[in-house]
Amino acid sequence: MADMSYRTALVTGASSGLGRGLALWLAKRGLRVFAAGRRVSQLEALSAEAQAAGSTVEPLELDVNQAEAAMERIRELDGECGGLDLVVANAGVGGVTHGRRLQWEKVRSIIDTNVTGAAATLTAVLPRMVERRRGHVVGISSLAAYRGLAGHAAYSASKAFLATFMESLRVDLGGSGVRVTCVYPGFVKSEMTAKNDFPMPFLMETDAAVELMGKGILRGDTELTFPWQLALPTRLVKVLPNPLFDAAARRLR
């Protein structure tokens, strides 16, 4: 794949965790980064940190749950900055959605952010990227996309949607000049994982995960899975017959 020079980037969910880390990582490598999220004060703190390091991160108040408004704002931004080279759909939420105690409000909240919001972010300026014959869209899925995790039906399904969505885009956009990358993180220290009350094997430090992710994106990798100690068995679990998987998942639960 031909090298691509990146000038501008949009990262959603940039107020904390992987999104914040990636926005700062890209800015330190010379990109003009638009850090999007709902918590403006945290975005402004990120911008100040970047400025102190001689980099440029511009806060962008954006709520991907308001899909139509978010798409309109991203298109405006694309015009204002002379074209977005990189769009990273990172904003995401988790939460327990157990089949025996399923609550539509929780399910819908996850779908609104992880499915509708992510798809809206990725497609907002994709037609313009195709016209320009340059650009890169990145979706942050999860290793949870490979199988339905016990107690997390909505989260696993939302990340499976994003993974399949990115795969189809990758096939469609081959030869168009537009790159497609899907990232499958395991457990990474963040505000979201801090709320988990279950074991998180091979929990990664945020900086280490960001380094892997950033380098892979700039290389133009089509898929990124990490950490390998969790990614490898997770891929193998995908081919387990359902009775074996169901029994193992119940024991882990």
> How far is the C-alpha of 215 from the C-alpha of 177, rounded, in Å?
19
Q: Which of 167, 173, 172 is nearest to 132 (CA)?
A: 173
Catalytic residue numbers, as ranges? 155
Nearest-angstrom CA–CA distance, 88 and 75: 14
